[in-house]
Amino acid sequence: MTNPQFGWVIQPSARDAAGAKTLMDDNFRFIERIRGDFSSIWVEDHFQWDDRPVMECWTALSMLAAKYTDLTIGALVLGQSYRNPALTAKMMATLHWLTGGRLIAGIGAGWKEDEYVSYDWPYPSAKVRIEQLEETVEIIRAMWTGSPASYEGKHYSIKDAYCEPRPDPPPPLLIGGGGERFTLRVVAKHADWMNVGLCDATIYARKLEALRGHCEQVGRDYESIVKTYFGFVSLTPEGREPEPRGDLHVVSGNPVKVIDELGSFIELGVEHFILRFVDFPDMRGLTLFLEEVMPKL
Helix axes 255-268, 201-218, angle to 10 degrees: 10
User: Which residues lie closer than 8 Å to 53 by C-beta, 6 or more apart?
Assistant: 13, 14, 16, 17, 19, 20, 23
Average pLDDT across the chain, whole number: 96
Amino acid at 47: F
Q: Please report the pLDDT score of residue 1 as a whole number.
A: 57
User: Which residues in 262-274 are b (16+ Cβ under 10 Å) and which e?
Assistant: bbebbebbbbbbb
User: What tens digit of pLDDT does each residue of 205-233 get?
Assistant: 999 999 999 999 999 999 999 999 999 99
Query: For strand 72-75 and strand 103-108, is the pairing parallel, antiparallel, or unpaired?
Result: parallel
Contact 266, 4 (CB under 8 A): yes
Q: Which pLDDT does position 273 carry in this prediction? A: 98
State percent of the chain over pLDDT 70.
Answer: 99
pLDDT of residue 280 exceeding 60: yes
Q: In the chain, what are the helix, strand and coil shares in percent, each to the nearest 5? A: 45, 20, 35
Q: Is 278 exposed, middle or buried (0-12, 13-18, 19+ CB in 10 A)?
A: middle
User: 38: pLDDT confidence band, cut at 50, 70 and 90?
Assistant: very high
pTM of structure: 0.95
Which whole number is the average pLDDT over 133-149? 97
Q: Cα(40)–Cα(245) distance, rounded to whole angstroms? A: 25
Rounded to 5 degrees, φ, ψ at 73 are -125, 150
Domains of the chain, earliest start first: 5-112+169-296 (3.20.20.30)
Whole-angstrom distance, CA of residue 195 vs CA of residue 226: 9
The pLDDT, as a whole number, for residue 17 is 87
User: What mean pLDDT do residues 79-88 have?
Assistant: 97
